[in-house]
Chains A and B, each alone.
Chain A
Amino acid sequence: MKTDCDLLIVGGGLTGLVAAWRAQREGLKTVVVAQGPGSLPFTSGALDLLAVYPTEAKRYRESPWEALSELIETEPEHPYGRVGLRGARAAVEDFLLYLEAGPLAYYRRGEENMAIVTGAGTIKPTYAVSVSMKKNRLAWSRRRPALILGFEGLYEFSPEQVVCNLQDRWGGLKAARLDRSVLLDGDRRLTVTQLAFEFERPEFRDRFAGAVKPLLGQSRFLGLPAVLGFDRVAAVCRDLEERLGVGVFEIPLLTPSLPGMRLAALLKRDLVEAGVDFRQGAPVSRLDEKGGHVSAAYRTGKSREERILAEYVLVATGRFFGGGLEADRQGVREMLLDLQVEAPGDRDNWHMASFLGAPGHPINRVGVKVDSMLRPVGPGGVPVYDNVFVAGAVLAGHDWVREKSGAGISVVTGYAAVDSVLAARARAGGGV
């Protein structure tokens, strides 16, 4: 039968974007259907691989790879366990080489995790960060004299909070705020996006540098909330460094989070350039399935229904936040194909008595169960469809929030799902 695409990816979060990027490069004709932007615009843009393992002990791991091999040994049903160490390494390596070469110039510290300062004044472990946070890690790890600067009227960021929380371990750390009248007219509340627009303008940077210089004193670094422009962040940082003569870095915020938005925008742009057919807006509302095979997907828009014939389908619909899973008072459902998910008993057992405690809320491990090819399975572990694969946050058996493994799971399973598609195609005799 004639199809519209080789691979239909449902979901435009990090998982869907990563999978599409790889699939298109492998020569698969790819369509992405994304109802919304997914989690990426809310993330710190820092890519976590695995930093806490086991989560029961809240044990921080300097080496994500060492932790990963242990996890794969002990938790074969974890998404990383399903893919295995070799697949994980290859995926992360390939994807990071791409990001490192791109305009966001991602940075990692060899094979180890790094630590960065967040807007809450906490220290977050992660595996790779965009160029604007490279010196965040450097300033913290060397405890160099630094000025943390906030903006009057930007409630998302309190430089005093950062400094108060860290000063016992970081001498030479200072907080200051810029009065908005120094920079802008009017007395409206400042927003993150408004500042980002301003920072892209050289005149604004000029005024900004003039106002900040006298505050620097002995500081060797200047830490700012993540507001330094959109896709030109690298150039903005460089320009500020030249004007001020200190290292400049960004600090990730609660929300909205520009570093996550930048990454989403970059991936989307590159995909579309590479030829991926990216359709945002109307969701996939139903699928044609027969005898364990899905042949078509339907998007229902306001006025019409659109049919997409696909050879293979990748479910990358995220969890509750993305819309891949939904819960009512009785239980949890997978929304696209009603794939098997098991809630952890009745609702009293979904969450722990403590919000922030260990090992993590049982509901977080709920998701779609898959085999080693990432095909969804039914009772008894048997695949229920021959041409459907599942990747990303929607998978069962992980708790990325506590493991600090969010982006890593998306990248590793996104790659692995495409590998599975390629293998299935090869078996079916379809050449690439």
Chain B
Amino acid sequence: MRIETQVLVIGGGVTGAGILRDLAMRGIHAVLLERRDLNAGASGANHGLLHSGGRYVVADPASARECARENEVLKRIASGCVEDTGGLFVALEEDKDEYIVDFISAAARTGVSVEQADLKELREEEPFLQPRVKAAFRVPDASMNPFLTTEANLEAARRLGARVFFYTQVTSMQRDRKRIARVDAIQAKTGEAVEVFADQVVSAAGPWVDQIGALAGADLRIAYSKGSLLITNSRLVNRVINRLRPPSDGDIVVPGETVTITGTNSIRVEHLDHLRTSASEVDRLVEEASRMVPALETARFIRAYAGVRPLVLADRDEPDRKISRAFTVFDHEKDGLENLVSIAGGKLTTYRLMAEKAVDLVSRRLGVDEPCRTAEIPLPGSGEGRALDTSQRLERLRVPPPGGEVLCECEMVGRQQIEEIVAELRKNGHPIDPNAIRLRSRLGMGSCQGGFCGYRTIGYLYERGLVSSKKGNEMLADFLEKRWNGIKPMLWGEQLRQEQLLEAIYCGSLNIDGSL
């Protein structure tokens, strides 16, 4: 396949999606290539916290300012992806008083809204919060669904004529002196080669940005920092709870729709694939988070996952937590490359701003002087309204889908919704498998982690003739193996019991591990 376009965007995480939309809104023709599916990198492996900036006020004021501003913007333009929970910073008895003082004055300096909370009120609002809290502050943190966000950005871009290719991995670049003349990619599902001719190339490949740079001969110094997160099967807190101390392990608890997400940590890794969370990481995160929310000690955890932050290395050696979480736009002119821009670092919270800066640079190079309007125009599905409040959102999740035909019982995903997603995938020429459906719904996100509904989904795909021969069963095995990576570290108590039932059914009853 041969593609000609003004701008090629590499990477289908939230940053790449935001860039694609911004380009399209400025009338620039653009194509995005993603080596896997929606949010395959850090965008699918984070806390889903729309930061107020509070976490960064003391150590990284630039990031704090960016977060504070973007927090307001996204609550407006991405209201359909945000649940405006509000957040808290809580100091426990063992936490240092000096940090509380620093926190308050730094918040004032950076424009992060902080309001002292009444501890008695708090106990009513957050019954699972540790009762021995010595101080607490309200901040405008919120919970943000990164899958909806990326999808809404891609959809907006598609409506303006941009094109998105999933399972299409950039493998090499042909350089013609100061320019990338051609980008080569390969489609994983079909093996088809893709050649892209673009005036400008934007690499939004997250932690892979150094590898993409290397293909063009650009040198980027990136370190990889892995962070792990744990999910429980129920929602234990109403607000985002942050520990009021210098950023450390296990000090954030985020309510995400029907679940609670706790984390995270920071461990240097050498490789980006096959990330695993070890039992000792899990134990430490559970212990730390239960200091703030003791019920987490006995909660039912259903999954662990890990993502990698690209840390843009300064010249001196700094500890990872100290490296700025602000983002960097690499203008590769200094490497003698006129048509490559790389962008890395930053946050989900600042994706829109990151996109704006990257597209500003690309526009200048292309001689386009349309202004950025992504801070004003809402995303599809976000209307002009405010973010849904918690009760509205939970209401939506609890109602059985129309027709009562439920495929995923844990998360109330209906057959009709699956049908709509499948139709959408087909329209976009996207390969159809249970993982693709899972990423676009809540299918498989509940207690069984897809163990039951994954099977039903395969049955449905066979029924509709969307898979044939042994393909569906291979997809099922593949789906079970993929989910396993996140389940394996969480197997104790009730979750182990459930998993033993699933293994007994799949291997004991159905023999899918060794069909004759």
A residues with CB within 8 A of B = 39, 42-44, 48, 52, 58, 60, 115, 118-125, 150, 153, 155-158, 160-161, 164-165, 167-168, 177, 187-189, 252, 254-255, 257, 319-321, 326-329, 346-348, 350-351, 353-357, 361, 363, 400-402, 404, 406
A346 to B492, CA, bound (A): 12
* Least Cβ–Cβ distance between B202 and chain A, in angstroms: 36
**Are B455's CB and A329's CB within 8 A?**
no
Say whether B511 contacts A404, CB under 8 Å.
yes
Q: Which of the residues A118, A329, A361, A402 comes within 8 Å of B510, measured between beta carbons? A: A118
Could you name 19 residue pairs across A and B whose Cβ atoms are closer than 8 Å?
A44-B510, A58-B514, A118-B509, A122-B515, A123-B515, A124-B509, A155-B459, A158-B463, A161-B472, A161-B473, A164-B469, A165-B470, A319-B500, A329-B279, A350-B491, A356-B477, A356-B506, A356-B507, A402-B507
Q: Which 5 A-B pairs have the closest CB atoms?
A: A158-B459, A122-B515, A347-B279, A355-B484, A124-B511
CA gap between A118 and B515 in the complex, in Å: 10
Chain A nearest CB, measured from B341 CB (Å): 38
Given contacts A189-B405, A328-B493, A356-B477, 4 further A-B contacts (CB under 8 A): A42-B501, A43-B509, A155-B459, A356-B512
**Contact of B174 with A by CB under 8 A:** no
* Complex contacts, A177 vs chain B, CB 8 Å: 463
In the complex, what residues of A have CB within 8 A of residue B467's CB? 164
Contact of B460 among A155, A354, A363 (CB under 8 A): A155
- Chain A residues whose C-beta falls within 8 Å of the C-beta of B403 in the assembled complex: 187
With A123-B515, A356-B481 known as contacts, the answer to whether A320 contacts B473 (CB < 8 A) is no
Q: From known contacts A124-B515, A155-B456, A164-B462, infer whether A254 and B505 are also in contact, taking CB-CB under 8 Å.
A: yes
Is the pair A119, B510 in contact by a Cβ cutoff of 8 Å? yes
> For the complex, is B376 an interface residue (Cβ under 8 Å from A)?
no
Residue contact B500 to A124, C-beta cutoff 8 Å = no
Say yes or no: A402 contacts B459, CB within 8 Å.
no
Check if B191 is an interface residue, CB within 8 A of chain A: no
Contact with A along B433-475 (1 / 0, CB 8 A): 0000000000000000000100110111011010111111100
B512:A120 contact, CB within 8 angstroms: yes
Q: Bound state CA distance, A96 and B404, in angstroms?
A: 43
Q: Which B403-423 residues have a C-beta within 8 angstroms of A? A: 403-407, 415
Expressed in whole angstroms, the minimum distance between the Cβ of B323 and any Cβ of chain A is: 29
Q: How far is the CB of A339 from chain B (nearest CB, A)?
A: 19
Bound together, the chains give a CA A122 to CA B506 distance in angstroms of 10
Instruction: Determine the chain B residues whose CB is within 8 A of the CB of A122 once the complex forms.
Output: 473, 510-512, 515
Please tell me if the beta carbons of A327 and B493 are within 8 angstroms of each other in the complex: yes
Would you give the 0/1 interface string for B69-112, flagging 1 where the beta carbon is closer than 8 Å to chain A?
00000000000000000000000000000000000000000000
Interface residues of B (CB under 8 A from A): 278-280, 282-283, 286, 403-407, 415, 452, 455-456, 458-460, 462-463, 465, 467-473, 476-477, 480-481, 484, 488-489, 491-493, 496-497, 500-501, 503-516
Query: Within the complex, what minimum Cβ distance (angstroms) separates B392 from chain A?
Result: 27
Bound-complex Cα distance A124 to B503 (A): 15
| Also in contact, A255 and B505, with CB within 8 A (given A165-B469, A188-B404, A347-B489) | yes
Residues of chain A lying within 8 A (CB to CB) of residue B462: 158, 160-161, 164
Known contacts A164-B467, A165-B470, A356-B481, A351 near B488 by CB under 8 Å: yes
In whole angstroms, how far apart are the Cα atoms of A52 and B513 in the complex? 11
B473 touches A165 (CB 8 A): yes
Q: How far is A124 from B509 in the complex, measured between Cα atoms in Å?
A: 8
B283's nearest neighbour on chain A, judged by CB, is A329
- Asked, given contacts A42-B504, A120-B473, A320-B497, whether A355 binds B509 with beta carbons under 8 Å apart, the answer is no
Evaluate whether A328 and B509 lie within 8 angstroms (CB atoms) in the complex, with A155-B407, A164-B470 already known: no
Write the nearest CB–CB distance from A59 to chain B, whole angstroms: 9
| A194 CB, min distance to chain B CBs, angstroms | 14
Alpha-carbon separation in the docked complex, A134 to B377 (Å): 65
Q: Please name all residues of chain B whose beta carbon is closer than 8 Å to the beta carbon of A254 when the two chains form the complex.
A: 452, 455, 505, 509-510
Write the nearest CB–CB distance from B515 to chain A, whole angstroms: 4
Within the complex, the shortest CB–CB distance from A19 to chain B, in Å, comes to: 21
A364 to chain B, nearest CB (A): 8
User: Once the chains bind, are A168 and B508 in contact (CB under 8 Å)?
Assistant: no
Contact, CB under 8 Å: B504 / A121: no
The residues of A that contact B280 with a CB separation of less than 8 Å are 346, 348
B residues in contact with A347, CB < 8 Å: 279, 282, 489, 491-492
Question: How near does chain A come to B85, taking the closest CB pair, in angstroms?
Answer: 28
- Chain A nearest CB: distance from B61 CB in Å? 38
A150 to B463, CA, bound (A): 10
CA–CA, A45 and B244, complex, Å? 56
Distance A321 CA – B283 CA, assembled complex (angstroms): 23
What distance in Å separates the Cβ of A190 from its nearest Cβ neighbour in chain B?
11
User: Which residues of the other chain, A, contact B407 by a CB distance below 8 angstroms?
Assistant: 155
CB distance from A97 to the nearest CB of B (A): 25
Give the chain A neighbours of B481 by CB distance below 8 A.
354-356
A326 to B298, CA, bound (A): 14
**Chain B nearest CB, measured from A320 CB (Å):** 5
On chain B, the residues within 8 Å of A43 by CB distance are 508-509
Give the one of A125, A257, A355, A356 with max B CB within 10 A.
A355
Contacts of B459 in A (CB 8 A): 155-158, 161
CA distance A131 to B515 in the complex (A): 22
Contacting pair B509 A44 (CB below 8 A): yes
CA separation between A39 and B497, bound complex, in Å? Answer: 12
Q: Given A155-B460, A189-B404, A319-B500, A401–B507 Cβ distance below 8 Å?
A: yes
- Tell whether, in the assembled complex, residue A356 and residue B493 are in contact, meaning their CB atoms are under 8 Å apart: no
Closest CB in chain A relative to B23 CB, distance in Å? 41
Chain B residue at minimal CB-CB distance from A39: B504
The CA-CA distance from A329 to B495 in the complex, in Å, is 11
When the two chains form their complex, are residues B509 and A115 in contact, meaning their CB atoms are under 8 A apart? no
A220 CA to B510 CA in the complex, in Å?
Answer: 25
A48 to B511, CA, bound (A): 11
Q: Which residues of the other chain, A, contact B469 by a CB distance below 8 angstroms?
A: 164-165, 167-168
Distance to closest chain A CB from B455 (angstroms): 6
Determine the distance from Cα of A293 to Cα of B85 in the docked complex, in whole angstroms.
58
The docked-state distance in angstroms from the alpha carbon of A42 to that of B451 is: 15
Judging by beta carbons under 8 Å apart, are B510 and A354 in contact?
no
Report the separation of the CA atoms of residues A58 and B515 in the bound assembly, to the nearest whole angstrom: 10
Per the bound structure, the CA–CA distance linking A348 and B415 in Å amounts to: 37
- Chain A CB within 10 Å — which of B476, B488, B506, B515 has the most? B515
Cβ contact within 8 Å between A320 and B509: no
Q: B465 and A160: CB pair below 8 A?
A: yes
Q: A160-B463, A402-B507 are known contacts. Are A320 and B477 too (CB-CB below 8 A)? A: no
Q: Are B480 and A355 in contact (CB under 8 A)?
A: yes
Looking across the interface, which residue of chain B has its beta carbon closest to that of A354?
Answer: B481
Residues of A within 8 A of B516 (CB): 60, 115, 123-125
